[in-house]
Structure 1
Amino acid sequence: MNAKMMKIAIPLLLSAALLSACGKSDAKTNGSAEHGGHGAHEAGTQAGAAAGQEKDVQAVFKLSSEKPQAKQDTNVSIQIVGKDNKPIESLDISHEKKLHLIVVSKDLSYFHHIHPEDKGKGSFQIATQFPAGGDYKLFADFVPTGMGSMTKSQWITVQGDAAKPVALQPEANLTKTIDGKEVTLAFDKLQAGQAVNMTFTIKDAASKKPITNLQPYLGAVGHVVVLSADASQYLHVHPTDEKAAGPEAKFMTTFPASGVYKIWGQFQHQGSVFTVPFVVKVP
């Protein structure tokens, strides 16, 4: 191969390698990446950030106290950094926010989706409270400009009386009544490693009439977060039709492995956001 041909071939090979490298590491340390990422409509068109790029990006979590107390305000700061711990100052807006923060308890009975204040230069901060003592996992969900969506996480321990653990049991009946809404979850099929369509159907609980005037929540008809029982597998799923208004809200994702998962669907109706949880077993 002559020198001219080599100049053309090398960039093409590098580009192909970056496009094909979309796997994520699984760790439980500061700034760890989670399996799954954004398992929604992006699956076919955007495989996520290249592995090399994502490895260089970290989220540094800091709490205002080394021993945060339950039921007291705790300041949580998150700094997004790249190579040599230099701040990544440019982040894309994803569903109206530059960073989504998901907080869950170890048994997944507690779930909180919040949005820290953008302090500039890749820095975010928020004051929040934890309902009881115990272990919690924080997930920072963001998109560095020029890269794909990323999720970094951190386990923390909160001081105080611990809540009684809630067993994570798969549910046979996938219909719940939340805030006056009857919500049913259905799948076209449920199989690990395969694309799955899941549909939330929302009715008025009293009249059973379909709700057709859902309001956009963070720029879409709804959002779904999925976690495996041990919180190692994370999916933030966006709807296939973001402009839908009900009664159906459709999503597509892929469960990375067999096991028990908890699913939280979030929607907005008449100015109020409601969250509906389900627990399923994926073959």
Structure 2
Amino acid sequence: MSTPARLATFGAVLAVVFGAAFGVGRLVGPDAVAEPAGDTAHPESGGGPSAGHGGHGGPTATPSGTRQSGPAAHGYSLAVDSYIGGISFKITEAGGPAVTAFETVHEKPLHLIVVRRDLSGFQHVHPVMDADGTWRAALTLPDGGPWRAYFDFTETGAAPTVLTADLDAPGAPHSEPLPAPATSTVVDGYTVRIDTHDGVTLRVERDGRPVTDLQPYLGASGHLVAIAERDLAYLHVHPSGPASGGPEVRFAVEGAASGTHRLYFQFQHGGAVHTAEFTVTGIGGGHAHN
């Protein structure tokens, strides 16, 4: 097995619930606890994923000992073949064939989120599935060291699910300190302001004026991903209320989380997608905003 094709640590299987009617996101899942090579760990809640590869080639991976957040995650396994210059993988039912029937959620059957473990280098890509259940997407990991990948999907007739994996990219490791909390940031000429008093509200401005003609991105006014600094717990939530052209995009968060998180807010304007990033301490109703 070559280094570029190595899956360093097999991730936890987590379940995430999206409130389709009201745009409510639920924060789920602790970080994986890596086991020594060759050990056979089992998720704490039982019924976890197998290390099987669904009958196709690729590196062998061992599940890590972590908690699962719901029974909808039971029975899935993930096999990652490569992630250098592009990623390919399969999602299988434990001991069975590859899953090939997926619901379209926000215009895509699968959302792949990748970040360095220091929470920098955020990427949100949409793989395309071959007839045999192999997913492929362009993906560049510009620096060495561990990256965390979240495979966010819904099998037809099942609940939304997230599989995670740690990708050990070759090359010199890269690490950045987490930026300090701030109430605004500038990205691509846009000023984005954040308030976390009651859920999360983002306000988009340009040249000192509110942006009122935001374009839909994947069927919504914007998308928000939050990842916890301590354990890399993952949240992907969509706007609450009716679609809005801005300047404000609001997100309701069910199960407010304490601790430090990195938030990634994606919005589309002028035909381009922009990503504004924030460090916050506490998200959801009643928690201190930064």
Distance 2:262 2:203 in 1: 18
Match of 1:15 in 2: none
Please say if residues 15 and 72 of structure 2, whose CA atoms lie closer than 8 Å, have aligned partners that are also in contact: no
Match of 2:144 in 1: 133
Question: Are 2:287 and 1:278 aligned?
Answer: no
What RMSD in Å do the two structures reach over aligned CA positions?
A: 2.7
In the TM superposition, residue 83 of structure 1 has moved relative to its aligned partner by 3.6
> Are residues 29 and 35 of structure 1, via their aligned partners in 2, closer, same or farther at CA, if it must alter by over 3 Å?
farther
Please say if residues 194 and 202 of structure 2, whose CA atoms lie closer than 8 Å, have aligned partners that are also in contact: yes
Distance 1:151 1:203 in 2: 33
In the TM superposition, residue 253 of structure 1 has moved relative to its aligned partner by 1.1
In the TM superposition, residue 63 of structure 1 has moved relative to its aligned partner by 1.0
Match of 1:198 in 2: 200
- Aligned 1:1-283 pairs, distance under 5 A: 30-34=10-14, 38=18, 41=22, 43=24, 51-63=70-82, 68=84, 73=85, 75-163=86-174, 165-171=175-181, 173-189=182-198, 197-204=199-206, 206=207, 208-241=208-241, 243-254=243-254, 257-282=257-282
The structure with more radius of gyration: 1
1:175-206, CA deviations, whole angstroms, 9 ceiling, x for partnerless residues? 111111111011224xxxxxxx21111111x2
Please say if residues 138 and 153 of structure 1, whose CA atoms lie closer than 8 Å, have aligned partners that are also in contact: yes
Partner SS for 2:87: strand
> Are residues 264 and 211 of structure 1, via their aligned partners in 2, closer, same or farther at CA, if it must alter by over 3 Å?
same
In the TM superposition, residue 156 of structure 1 has moved relative to its aligned partner by 1.4
> Are residues 162 and 52 of structure 1, via their aligned partners in 2, closer, same or farther at CA, if it must alter by over 3 Å?
closer
Match of 2:58 in 1: none
In the TM superposition, residue 50 of structure 1 has moved relative to its aligned partner by 9.1
Task: Name the % identity.
Answer: 31
1:52-80, CA deviations, whole angstroms, 9 ceiling, x for partnerless residues? 3421122322216xxx5xxxx2x311212
1:203-224, CA deviations, whole angstroms, 9 ceiling, x for partnerless residues? 11x2x11111100111111101
Distance 1:108 1:131 in 2: 14
Give 1 or 2: higher helix fraction.
1
In the TM superposition, residue 230 of structure 1 has moved relative to its aligned partner by 3.8
Distance 2:221 2:214 in 1: 7
In the TM superposition, residue 39 of structure 1 has moved relative to its aligned partner by 7.2
List runs of 5+ in structure 2 lacking aligned partners: 1-7, 29-67
- Partner AA of 2:169 in structure 1: V
> Are residues 202 and 43 of structure 1, via their aligned partners in 2, closer, same or farther at CA, if it must alter by over 3 Å?
closer
> Are residues 247 and 214 of structure 1, via their aligned partners in 2, closer, same or farther at CA, if it must alter by over 3 Å?
same
Distance 1:121 1:230 in 2: 37
How many residues end up aligned between the 2 structures?
235
